A and B are shown apart, each in its own frame.
Chain A
Amino acid sequence: MSNKPRSPSRRDFLRQSMVAVPAVTLLGSSALAPEPGHAAPGTGAKTYAPRYFNAAEWDFLQAAVDRLIPPSEDGPSAVEAGVPEFIDRQMDAAYGHGGYWYMQGPFVPESPATLGYQLRYTPREFYRKAIAAIDDWCRRQHGKSFSALTHEQQDDILGQMEKGQIKLEDVPTDTFFSQLITNTKEGYFSDPMYGGNKQMGAWKMIGFPGARADFADWIEQPGKAYPFGPVSIEGEQS
């Protein structure tokens, strides 16, 4: 169909990124040595200095989320989209402090999974505890911390975490994986004002028009491809 919205190619994405934030981008990509598999030049993601995570945690986080949503021709990777920044900023928000959750004890973590989250950790506590434990496990098993392993090893470890196959004291790795992937997708697809979804790249990839939120005239045109790109809450346009 000719009237379908054109999927933004990776080249378009990078070109638009460059136009949107040239100064930050150039500073970011030249000031830091690029690491393989991490931020592509042109996103500005590396210029962010984490406020909650320490250096080792930050290395883990960037490496892990960029395997969950890796670089590819389809659209931005998690690091390109600023997901680590999103997660770091969430750690200082009410969410990170467990402010949305009932956190009174007693805690019964051995309850059936169907009764939901029953750990005593707030999200920020869980990241701190789990990353240290997983990095420690990686050093014992592979002699290196998670971020220094190959993509293949990282994917294998994430897959084992997803299935709860890595057993660590006090850290159910499947529950941690669930928090990590949930926060990763939140950062990837939420409004850019939260620090992720830089230049609305994830929205452009799938064709979601973001905060447009007005389709009165489009209900009269069922089946016709929607031609407009996304807008953000703070007024970014595409």
Chain B
Amino acid sequence: MIRMKPVDVVIVGFGWTGAIMGAELTEAGLNVLALERGNYRDTSPDFIYPRNADELAFGIRGDLFQPLARETITVRHGLNDTAVPYRQYGSFLFGNNVGGAGVHWNGQHYRPSPEDLELESHIAQRYGRKFMPEDMQIQDYGVTYDELEPFLEHFEYVCGTSGKAGNLNGSLQEGGNPFEGPRKREYPNPPVRSNYGAGLFADAARALGYKPFPQPSANASQVYTNPYGVRLGPCNLCGYCERFSCYMYSKASPQTTILPVLLRRPNFSLRTQSHVTRVNLDSTRKRATGVTYIDAQGQEVEQPADLVIVAAFQMHNVRLMLLSGIGAPYDPVTGKGVIGKNYAYQMMSSISVFYDRDVAINPFIGAGSGGNVIIDEFNSDHFDHGPHGFVGGGYILGGQTGGRPIQQLLLPPGTPAWGEKWKRAAKESYLHTTGVQTHGSVMAYRDRYLDLDPTYKDAFGLPLLRMTFDWHDNEYKMTKFLTDRAQEIANQMKPRQTSATVRQPGSHYDVRQYQTTHTTGGVIQGASPETSALNRYQQSWDVPNVFVTGASAFPQNIGYNPTGLIGGLTYWSAKAIRETYLKHPGPLVQA
């Protein structure tokens, strides 16, 4: 085995959280190495126009996604089922290469609600423990909204996020989200103007007494220079956003916000085509000595480091912890163990809103987030759940992110899938259709978890991650409630016709339909090593010189897109490393 020169810090994976940790820990004077299994890429020459305006390559084939041919996961619905591989993309989309999923995301940039971070305590206090089904195992994050607020804000300023504050230091602001936690400052950029469909949604929502606001968007609405001195350009609503890279330097990604500065620092280095297969431990198994990776030539390389940051995508973090033997694997029968525990997801529904030919929606005018409108009345615990009998909620969105015809063509109910009638409907509906969507939380349950598959292997012969997941009644109730509200707004929009897609009780999790890439949990943070893998600073309880960033730390999922919380938690963790851990390397919280 090849043995490299030791470094202070090795970062596994170079997406959003790897870039943030790289920036923070090089600023602290440390010698930092990031290992990325994919290739280097940047706006120019990799994301340029017109190459990026290619629906087949990026939207359908998924050229920005991790090649499943080399590594995927397996999926089963229940503990007694046999899992089979997720062979083609559907339900969620893994990122790939430098920037990770931070390149192909939509820029929907939210903060959690304060109660989301203390969910177990909050629900128990407001509704009583019996309100939670017996097998629901939700937990607190171990960090409060007030503690996290400066870090959530900082990430928004790094991204140049466009939006309108709804609560500035406790004072409610017209036009923003009145349900959000208090923020100290306004968003760094004003909102992107609403697209036409979103405007119709906003009018209807207002007429029903709701408080619509512009979706917070990491698509810059104007030229903006972030705290690192990196400049973003204004979004031009090109309609090629989710699943695509951004040719306008508008959508926040590691490339457009952090890398231009970080890559030039002399105490930082990036090694691509370096696939980490395990975190190495010393004989006490309480201390990591570095990582082992496979390089571009297929050689095994040992990289010694004093501090290991596991910063890959949520599922890859869980798998690396299991492959490395850090923390006890979760057992769904006894409920003991922590790695793989509390895998959660999100539950979506959508309503297509069809107008007559005199209403020009122009669906191709869209951005991943900028230009859409939200109501947040039914998210988190913004309403009394008592009469409804479920935990969680979600936001309702109006508008569209684009009108790419292979994937985003919406047709009236009853249209056949082919033939002359299909063709006629495509021609008559395309320009005149918009949408309303709900984006709902999923709680954590005892029998929903991640472990290593006993049968299927990756290209290196290592076991794939196995997901055991299906919907629970709580989420069916949540999505029905949310979709009923969305339908009322859609009706108020005075369309010719609507068509709702909502998951029905009894239907199983379907990997073929895209839902969200917001997979969470498996290396969760919390208050005790009995119930969580990480402490409140995302530090491993078992091996204190290992930190694990990203959505794998979420004890259960939220009703928002996760990236804002992920960025905030990463800056929070980085501060604890810089200010406390480096002075006294060891546990930041005593177990």
Residues in A188-216 with C-beta less than 8 Å from chain B: 189-191, 194, 202-203, 205-216
Report chain A residues within 8 Å CB of B240: 213
Residues in A57-95 with C-beta less than 8 Å from chain B: 67-70, 72, 74-75, 94-95
B1 within 8 A of A: no
Residues in A174-232 with C-beta less than 8 Å from chain B: 181, 184-186, 189-191, 194, 202-203, 205-216, 218-220, 222-226
A141 within 8 A of B: no
Report chain B residues within 8 Å CB of A224: 360
A215 touches B236 (CB 8 A): yes
Q: Could you tell me the distance between the alpha carbons of A159 and B15 in the complex, rounded to whole angstroms?
A: 46
Q: Which of A99, A102, A206, A211 is the most central at the interface, judged by chain B CB atoms within 10 Å of its CB? A: A102
A208 touches B430 (CB 8 A): yes
Q: Could you tell me the distance between the alpha carbons of A225 and B430 in the complex, rounded to whole angstroms?
A: 12
A32 within 8 A of B: no
Q: Which of B84, B196, B199 is the most central at the interface, judged by chain A CB atoms within 10 Å of its CB? A: B84
Report chain A residues within 8 Å CB of B509: 114
A104 touches B427 (CB 8 A): no
Assuming the contacts A208-B403, A233-B54, asked whether A155 and B419 have C-beta atoms less than 8 A apart, the reply is yes
Report chain B residues within 8 Å CB of A138: none
B60 touches A112 (CB 8 A): no
B406 touches A186 (CB 8 A): yes
Report chain B residues within 8 Å CB of A4: 357-358, 360
B260 to chain A, nearest CB (A): 24
A222 touches B53 (CB 8 A): no
Q: Could you tell me the distance between the alpha carbons of A225 and B364 in the complex, rounded to whole angstroms?
A: 12
Instruction: Name the segment of B62-70, B342-350, B553-561 touching the other chain.
Output: B62-70
Report chain A residues within 8 Å CB of B194: 222
Report chain A residues within 8 Å CB of B564: none
A7 within 8 A of B: yes
- From B68, B193, B511, A102 is in contact (CB under 8 Å) with B68
A213 to chain B, nearest CB (A): 4
Q: Could you tell me the distance between the alpha carbons of A226 and B361 in the complex, rounded to whole angstroms?
A: 9
Assuming the contacts A114-B511, A118-B87, asked whether A191 and B54 have C-beta atoms less than 8 A apart, the reply is yes
Report chain B residues within 8 Å CB of A215: 236-239, 362, 364-365
- From A5, A158, A222, B196 is in contact (CB under 8 Å) with A222
B77 within 8 A of A: yes
Report chain B residues within 8 Å CB of A214: 236, 238
B217 within 8 A of A: no
Tally chain A residues at the interface, Cβ within 8 Å: 64
- From B199, B417, B419, B508, A67 is in contact (CB under 8 Å) with B419
Report chain B residues within 8 Å CB of A70: 419-420, 423
Question: How would residues 122 to 157 of chain B score, 1 for a CB under 8 Å from any chain A CB and 0 otherwise?
Answer: 000000000000000000000000000000000000
Assuming the contacts A4-B360, A207-B430, A213-B50, asked whether A218 and B419 have C-beta atoms less than 8 A apart, the reply is no
A205 touches B51 (CB 8 A): no
Assuming the contacts A1-B358, A114-B512, asked whether A181 and B418 have C-beta atoms less than 8 A apart, the reply is yes
Report chain A residues within 8 Å CB of B71: 102
A111 within 8 A of B: yes
Q: Could you tell me the distance between the alpha carbons of A116 and B72 in the complex, rounded to whole angstroms?
A: 13
Assuming the contacts A72-B420, A191-B56, A205-B427, asked whether A102 and B239 have C-beta atoms less than 8 A apart, the reply is no
A101 touches B68 (CB 8 A): yes
Q: Could you tell me the distance between the alpha carbons of A102 and B67 in the complex, rounded to whole angstroms?
A: 8
Report chain A residues within 8 Å CB of B418: 67-69, 158, 162, 181, 184
B202 to chain A, nearest CB (A): 11
Tally chain B residues at the interface, Cβ within 8 Å: 73
Q: Could you tell me the distance between the alpha carbons of A185 and B71 in the complex, rounded to whole angstroms?
A: 28
A104 touches B362 (CB 8 A): no
Report chain A residues within 8 Å CB of B230: none
A218 touches B406 (CB 8 A): no
B360 touches A205 (CB 8 A): no
Report chain B residues within 8 Å CB of A74: 420, 423-424, 427
B195 touches A116 (CB 8 A): no
B69 touches A102 (CB 8 A): yes
Report chain A residues within 8 Å CB of B431: 5, 206-207, 225
Question: How would residues 428 to 451 of chain B score, 1 for a CB under 8 Å from any chain A CB and 0 otherwise?
Answer: 001100000000000000000000
B234 touches A208 (CB 8 A): no
A153 to chain B, nearest CB (A): 14
Report chain A residues within 8 Å CB of B420: 70, 72, 74
A219 touches B54 (CB 8 A): no
B92 within 8 A of A: no
Q: Which residue of A lies closest to B423 (CB)?
A: A74
Q: Which residue of B lies closest to A162 (CB)?
A: B417
B88 touches A191 (CB 8 A): no
- From B69, B86, B234, B359, A116 is in contact (CB under 8 Å) with B86
Report chain A residues within 8 Å CB of B192: 219
- From A1, A100, A118, A210, B62 is in contact (CB under 8 Å) with A100
Q: Which of B193, B364, B457, B508 is the most central at the interface, judged by chain A CB atoms within 10 Å of its CB? A: B364
Q: Could you tell me the distance between the alpha carbons of A6 and B435 in the complex, rounded to whole angstroms?
A: 24
B160 within 8 A of A: no
A190 touches B84 (CB 8 A): no
Report chain A residues within 8 Å CB of B82: 108
Assuming the contacts A100-B61, A101-B88, A208-B430, asked whether A233 and B51 have C-beta atoms less than 8 A apart, the reply is yes
- From A68, A194, A226, B362 is in contact (CB under 8 Å) with A226
Assuming the contacts A74-B427, A186-B56, A189-B406, asked whether A219 and B365 have C-beta atoms less than 8 A apart, the reply is yes
Assuming the contacts A101-B69, A108-B82, A224-B360, asked whether A206 and B426 have C-beta atoms less than 8 A apart, the reply is yes
Report chain B residues within 8 Å CB of A72: 420, 423-424
A48 within 8 A of B: no
Q: Could you tell me the distance between the alpha carbons of A194 and B51 in the complex, rounded to whole angstroms?
A: 13
Assuming the contacts A74-B424, A186-B56, A222-B194, asked whether A208 and B405 have C-beta atoms less than 8 A apart, the reply is yes
Report chain B residues within 8 Å CB of A106: 455
B249 to chain A, nearest CB (A): 14
A229 to chain B, nearest CB (A): 12
A117 touches B88 (CB 8 A): yes
Report chain B residues within 8 Å CB of A55: none
B390 within 8 A of A: no
Report chain A residues within 8 Å CB of B362: 215, 218, 225-226
- From B53, B419, B427, A211 is in contact (CB under 8 Å) with B53
A168 within 8 A of B: no
Assuming the contacts A74-B424, A114-B508, A158-B418, asked whether A206 and B430 have C-beta atoms less than 8 A apart, the reply is yes
B84 touches A108 (CB 8 A): yes
Q: List 11 A-B contacts (CB under 8 A).
A: A100-B88, A102-B71, A104-B456, A104-B457, A116-B86, A206-B405, A208-B364, A211-B53, A219-B192, A222-B196, A226-B364
* Given A116-B75, A224-B360; 10 other pairs, CB 8 A cutoff: A69-B419, A69-B422, A102-B86, A186-B60, A190-B54, A190-B60, A190-B406, A215-B238, A216-B234, A219-B195
The 10 nearest A-B residue pairs measured at CB = A213-B238, A222-B196, A206-B430, A211-B53, A190-B56, A216-B236, A189-B405, A114-B510, A68-B418, A215-B365
Q: Chain B interface (Cβ within 8 Å of chain A)?
A: 49-56, 60-62, 67-69, 71-72, 75-77, 82, 84-90, 192-196, 199, 234-240, 247, 357-360, 362, 364-365, 371, 403-406, 409, 417-420, 422-424, 426-427, 430-431, 455-457, 508-512
